[in-house]
Structure 1
């Protein structure tokens, strides 16, 4: 059982209302996170609290040894989707969420130190991503499959895939878009959204994406017997008018990939298109910092990890140096 009133350094700690769930909600309210990330962190902390309860460990008295034991338990846990043990990256992410939760409690003076700090976390290769990527030809095939679709949701699906492919949006960013987020800026068609970290961002719509979005909104307005300017609410909606959810987008990507004959269709995700966006942009000579800005990455190393073609010897700078030397020698 949590005991926020425990004493430290001879002085009483400030009272913390409620139990661990209240601590968690207070922590999440103080973080700029998407709703999807909030839910994930909530599950991560809940799993730790359940593990502690099963072993009669007070989370406020847990040590790094307890966290180490929990980490080993996570490493032996089988993922429901794959049936394989959780990856080091997944274990590291869950412990990272737990560490952030404890940091919050330390700031509240509910305990003296974060027990996760001294724990043994799995080593994660920061230069590797488990996401299955797509080649430019495969992205083209996916878009062609969407173009060939007919039916009441075809226009919406084309708009969703175009936004993922041409802008490299995260799935959470895509489904959070509202009609009101569309606009213009200095002659560019644009879309505004809240990115990771709660930062408001704006991206340009390519002519192809703008056409797909306009066609979808025109069809949607006609079905509702209103004009396009009268449309409100979520940009991408279901047949009942509800906001499209991430699970539907996952299913859409895989269904279209299967139709397109992409061998790895069952392993693809919306994030595969985000990786393809980074790889293709870099292959086309877009500077790393511009790709980083477009993707909303705080660290350029993250952008480099998304670039699946970064180790291609065709891009070895030795060639550029040699060519420049050859030109100087005339």
Structure 2
């Protein structure tokens, strides 16, 4: 597939090159994390391979072709959310091609996408007791990486960070603002984020950086580069954090440890915050969600009848009548 502009179109932008080159131009045109960028690249590559097997020019594909592709993904027993994500990335790719006048229409626009309930999430959650047990397991770890492990898990649990945000942190992101220990970093979508460190998180990070400074024969205030590093000095990656969460959960005796992920702690953060009465908009801001409906989906306890507002209204009515 070679992408060329459509002829005789007003506003045509000159574009050429292979599908791979155009895909890289599309990815560079969007504010995406490295993880999301890699996932989108794989999604487009999968579609192009499917088209090549059928001798179908992707620039001539219709919504019927996209439907056939989606049904094939579903036949592989991929989760609806996975299929929807793949089609979403593909739709963005075609939108880019349409802007370049390489195609007339986005064929994914008319395709039949899987239904996804906003109330559904495939992430396995954690109760507050399980989070406490996991943190206890981290606090009792021994070995040269123990302090780094504790810092990573406390940041996930206390701040509800995305794993990409955690591993992307630099030492320079730490600061002090109006008496608060703080973190400033770039979150999902390239949006600047600012979070307060809890006392436990600050203590865990300080202990780890102090240990690291001694190992590097310097002082903590002279450290720079990634906040969390491997024994070789490289930035800790997301796969290591996945393994860490499952390792600690297994040590803590959590039954479903092998299905957990760093995102499980993010869900637990939202659920616990709402259960403690933190307003939805404050949780939304803390988690960096553009849509409050996303935050509500993270709140696993939102359907708990103990939180039914009818109880609050009834109690208020009793107070009024007593007065």
TM-score of the superposed pair, with normalisation by structure 1: 0.95
1:141 equivalent in alignment to 2:133: yes
Task: Structure 1: give runs of 5+ residues left out of the alignment.
Answer: 78-84
In structure 1, the partner of 2:27 is 28
* C-alpha separation in 2, matches of 1:2 and 1:224: 51
Matched, 1:309 2:308: no
Match of 2:65 in 1: 66
Q: 2:319 — aligned with what?
A: 327
The match for 1:76 is 75
Say which SS state the counterpart of residue 134 (structure 1) adopts: coil
Query: Alpha-carbon deviation of 1:15?
Result: 3.6
Q: Which of residues 64, 75, 80 is equivalent to 1:88?
A: 80
Match of 1:103 in 2: 95
Matched, 1:127 2:119: yes
Q: CA deviation at 1:12?
A: 10
SS at match of 1:184: strand
Q: In the alignment, what sits opposite 2:204?
A: 212
Shift of 1:94: 0.4
Question: Which runs of structure 1 show a deviation greater than 3 angstroms over 4 or more consecutive aligned residues?
Answer: 5-9, 11-15
Counterpart Cα distance in 2 of 1:208 and 1:220: 18
In 2, Cα distance between equivalents of 1:3 and 1:322: 65
The match for 1:189 is 181
Q: Aligned-pair distance for 1:175? A: 0.1
**Alpha-carbon shift at residue 5 of structure 1 (Å):** 4.5
The CA deviation string for residues 165-207 of structure 1, in whole angstroms up to 9 with x for no partner, is 0000000000000001100111100011111110010100000
Residue segments in structure 2 that go unaligned for 5+ positions in a row: none
Write the distance in 2 (CA, Å) between the matches of 1:12 and 1:309: 51
Match of 2:56 in 1: 57
Shift of 1:17: 2.2
What CA distance in whole angstroms lies between the structure 2 residues aligned with 1:232 and 1:142? 29
Q: Can you list the C-alpha shifts for 1:112-166, whole angstroms capped at 9, x where unaligned? A: 1100000111111111111000001100000000000111000000000000000
Q: Contact 2:213–2:220 (CA<8 Å) still a contact in 1? A: yes
C-alpha RMSD over aligned residues? 1.2
- The answer to whether the 8 A contact 1:183-1:189 is kept is yes
- Cα distance change of structure 1 residues 12 and 164 upon mapping to structure 2, 3 Å threshold: closer
Q: Distance in 2 between matches of 1:322 and 1:14?
A: 64
Partners of 1:14 and 1:186 in 2: CA distance: 49
Q: Is residue 163 of structure 2 the alignment partner of residue 164 of structure 1?
A: no
